[in-house]
Amino acid sequence: MPEDAIPRHTQVFAAAGTAFLRVATTAGGMGILLFRILARFFPPRIDGGEIWKNLYKMGVKSLPIVAITALFTGAIMVVQAATIVKRYSAEGLLGWGAGFGTLREIAPLLTALMISGRVGANNTAELGTMVVTEQLDALRVLAIDPIGFLIVPRFVSIVATLFMMTLFADALALFGAAHTGKALLNVDPVTFYNGFTAGLLDFGDVANGLTKSVVFGVVIGLASCHFGLATTGGAPGVGRAVNAQVVASAAGIFVLDYVTSFILG
Amino acid sequence: MATTSPGQASHPADVDPVPEAHAPPGPVAALGGSAIDLFLGGKELLSVFIRTLYYSVRGKREKGAFTTQMYEIGNKSVFFLSITMGFIGMILVYQSGLQAKRVVPDYTMLGATYLELLVRDFAASIGALMLATRVGAGIAAEIGSMVVTEQVDALRMCAADPIDFLIVPRFKASVIMTTVLIVWAGTVAYLTGAATAYVAFDVAPQTFFNMALIDVGDVSVGLAKCLAYGAAIPVVSGYCGLSTFGGSEGVGWATTRAVVNTSLTIIILNFFISTAGFLIFPG
Amino acid sequence: MSVETGIRFQNIVKAFGPKRVLNGVSFDVHKGEVFFIIGASGVGKSVLIKHLVGLLYPDEGEIWLDGEEISKFDEVRMGPVRKKCAMVFQHSTLFDSMTCAENVALPLRKHKGLTLKESVAEAKRRLHVVHMQEFGDRYPPELGDGMRKRVAIARALTLEPEYVLFDEPTTSLDPVSARRVDKLIRELSDTLGVTSIVVSHDLSSIFTIADRIVMLYKGHVRLLGTRDDFKHTPDGVVNQFINGRAQGPMDL
């Protein structure tokens, strides 16, 4: 780009336009990919064995990091609520206060960010490496559809993994929160658990968080497959693709979090 | 902190055709193995951190590298951080509004409580998680590709410590820029939060902009977090970059590890600083 | 022996950006022969054969395969063509996440309706043909280039193709492995009647196993003929190439 040729004051507009075009290209590419993925479901042309393989690789192997994240997150939520609880000496409400934010927002959000970093980035790196080493062309030459064989199983596994991990993280975060409440504020875990079964929280709050996790899963799945497939430029290109994937996933997660929060109310 | 990934084995040529038999490790061995990995990783990470601190004080000053990194880490993250923090501000206020609605539909303290939480935790922690993704992945990818193309070895041959040369400028730049960016991110989140409160719950901005609950404790905890995260991001992701192995594919894995490990470090640091803050400044 | 045309390239033009790599290339490949495409690096040899399996599409020109014009086929209609024309990539391009046997088993499982177990058992039989039976359970990154190449050939042959495209099969192999691959290519043609199209600049392969040779130069066909035609050509450019001389009329 001959940037010197453009007058200085219009460079800002040029940059903004370029950035906008880039975002639009990415969003469009992800939309087309989603369409192509969905087309493989009618009629189903998906490799079932690959789904199981990926579920193991993505799901089981992410358990430790999700567990650590969830335990600490629950603990942090209680520490944050602690000041307020002390101020109003409302120990009975601690479970509800920490549980509400955890179930509806923080657990799905942080789990999604961690899965985006662990699973999404791995997926992009793997697909990107396959693209730059022509393994995708090798599949096509064997008359095997790369979308049905590679992309759909990964996409399905990412969505399923994030859903299950969020469920798991919900439980562990509340566990961590209950025990931090005991250590820090001397609130008995029973009181804590009563706090969120007393009627202020219901299944709707859990479902709210889980719905979000599905939306986030779709975002991560699409972003990681899109950037993996769009990799160019050899090995450094794979690094760039991974970087672009985590950034796009994070931005997408936050924007859609907002949208789903409002829609679900 | 070392998460191992498959496919990193180097490629021996036709020399070793005998398949070696290794039994899959039992659960105890696996647990012990990962504990040892964690310990060794932690030890190396600590050594990188200490050397970074040492060279920050004693090392040669590279003005150009420092300002470049300030630009790379700081300016280039502003857009991304503003977008994500803007949305998180709206979400947080919306969710706490819903929460408040169920107990006492009284929104007068919404802004004050939100500001307190923002200053004490959310601005720093969520902002830093975002920076971990963008900045951390960038640092790991850059240093990682220097490792696999043997540029780091070339540095060593010139008797330059890669930590002094590569991590220290990023470390200094990150400590400063993370703090600056988080103050900015908090402002953005507060403003979008105020807008949401006005639109969704009819809270007037005058009521929302309430600093009554902010005290010394909140500000010091917030600042401590900024500095800790700012220091942790380049050290952890730089460490992941420097420990890249396995040729060109390794860069991708290093980037992945950097994002995950930096995020985990932030969450764990957050827990300790928050707890310490609660114990030092109770209520 | 009657000569039957299997593949016909007609006036193929392909440009990447401003660079016209192929500028009107035409020739026929006969059934059952070992056909070599030679030329200097970057002259578009690999580009040309990638057109045959729909990895690239020509800007102009036609490609005929067994009486069908295939250059405008979409991904779905390319399927049968790809089953008929197998390809062995330059760097073997095995799937790193699968064992060698699974690599060979994949097309069997996908196209012959075998279960995973059956297909792996069949794959091990196929590996036997290329003398790789004891490496079925190893992963490709653990093996050397020559071994990977043999597995790649086994994978390409699983669907009993009529045509096999080899993209620089002997480049980056040691001389012994290279001659073994040559022998394998020749046998395919002699015993199974497979048509092989080999992209190469390995002079010893060219003059041991080729039936006919085409040389590409500057986007055009420079010479098409048998080994003897090439040995006795008066063309200075061809002469320089097949003798591997640094000095001569050829410019790059």
Q: What percent of chain A has pLDDT over 70?
A: 95
Residues of chain B neighbouring A258 (CB-CB closer than 8 A): 87, 90-91, 94
Q: Give pTM, 2 decimals.
A: 0.82
Q: Which of C75, C79, C116 sits opposite A49 (nearest CB)?
A: C116
> Which residues span the domain enclosing A69?
48-264
Radius of gyration from C-alpha coordinates of chain B? 22
In a domain, A19, yes or no: no
CA angle A255, B210, A89 (to 5 degrees): 95
Distance CA B33, CA A18 (A): 48
Number of other residues whose CB lies within 10 A of the CB of residue A45:
13
Q: Do B120 and A80 touch (CB under 8 A)?
A: yes
The mean of the pLDDT values for chain B is 83
* Cβ-Cβ contacts under 8 Å for B125 (sequence gap 6 or more): A76, B225, B229, B266, B267, B270
Phi/psi of residue C154, nearest 5 degrees: -60, -40
Using an 8 Å Cβ cutoff, are A228 and A126 in contact? yes
Residues in chain A within 8 Å Cβ distance of B248: 129, 234-236, 238
Among residues of chain B, what percentage have pLDDT more than 90?
A: 30
What pLDDT score does B188 carry? 94
Q: What is the pLDDT of residue B25?
A: 64
Amino acid B22: pLDDT: 52
* C34-38 vs C19-30, strand pairing mode: unpaired
pLDDT over 70 at B46, yes or no:
yes
> Would B213 be classed as within a structural domain?
yes
pLDDT band of A199, cuts 50, 70, 90: low
Is the CB of B248 less than 8 angstroms away from the CB of A254?
no
The answer to whether residue B18 is domain-embedded is no
A7 has pLDDT over 70? no
| Residue C159 contacts A, CB cutoff 8 Å | yes
Of C134, C138, C147, nearest to B14 by CB-CB distance is C147
Q: Tens digit of pLDDT for each residue in B97-141? A: 887 777 777 788 888 888 988 898 889 999 999 998 889 988 998
In a domain, A14, yes or no: no
Q: How many CB atoms lie within 10 A of CB A43?
A: 6
Contacts of C among chains (3+ CB pairs under 8 A)? A, B
**Which uninterrupted H or E stretch holds C85?**
strand C85-88
In a domain, A13, yes or no: no
Number of A–B residue contacts, CB under 8 Å: 164
If you count residue pairs, one on A and one on C, with CB atoms under 8 Å apart, how many are there? 57
The pair phi, psi for residue C221, each rounded to 5°, is: -75, 125
Range of the domain at B89: 62-278
- Predicted pLDDT of residue A202: 77
* Residue B254 falls inside a structural domain: yes
ipTM of the complex: 0.82
Per-residue pLDDT, B10? 39
What's the mean pLDDT in C28-46?
Answer: 90
% of chain C beyond a pLDDT of 70: 99
- CA A45, CA A127: separation in Å to the nearest integer? 20
Tell me the domains of chain C and their CATH numbers: 5-243 (3.40.50.300)
Number of domain units in chain B: 1
Give the per-residue pLDDT at B230: 94
Assign A198 to helix, strand or coil.
Answer: coil
Task: Write down the mean pLDDT value for chain A.
Answer: 86
CB contact under 8 A, C107 and A149: no
Least confident among A21-35, B32-46, C72-86, C211-225 = B32-46
Structural domain includes residue B184: yes
- B264 Cβ contact partners less than 8 Å away, ≥ 6 residues apart: A65, A68, A69, A114, B1
Nearest residue of chain B to residue A209 (CA atoms): B95
Q: How large is the average pLDDT for residues C91-102?
A: 87
C-alpha pair distances (Å), B207 with each of B122, B193, B216 = 21, 13, 22
Residues 6+ apart with CB under 8 A from C192: none
pLDDT band at B32; cut points 50, 70, 90: confident
Count of structural domains within chain A: 1
Q: Over the stretch A218-265, which tens digit does the pLDDT of each residue have?
A: 999 999 999 999 988 877 788 788 888 988 999 999 999 989 988 887
A69 vs B63, residue with greater confidence: A69
* Span B65-79, pLDDT tens digits: 888 888 888 888 888
Task: Write the pLDDT tens digit of every residue in A99-144.
Answer: 888 888 889 999 999 999 889 988 998 899 889 888 999 999 988 8
Q: Which of A41-55, B199-213, C24-38 has the highest mean predicted lDDT (pLDDT)? A: C24-38
Binning pLDDT at 50, 70 and 90, where does residue C172 land?
Answer: confident
Tell if the CB–CB gap between C137 and B7 is shorter than 8 Å. no
Chain A residues 120-149 with CB within 8 Å of chain C: 126, 129-130, 133-135, 137-145, 149
Q: Is the CB of B7 inside 8 Å of chain C's CB atoms?
A: yes
Q: Is residue A29 part of a domain?
A: no
- Alpha-carbon distance A38 to nearest alpha carbon in chain B (angstroms): 28
Asked whether the beta carbons of A155 and A37 are under 8 A apart, the reply is yes
| Choice between A19 and B238, residue whose per-residue pLDDT is larger | B238
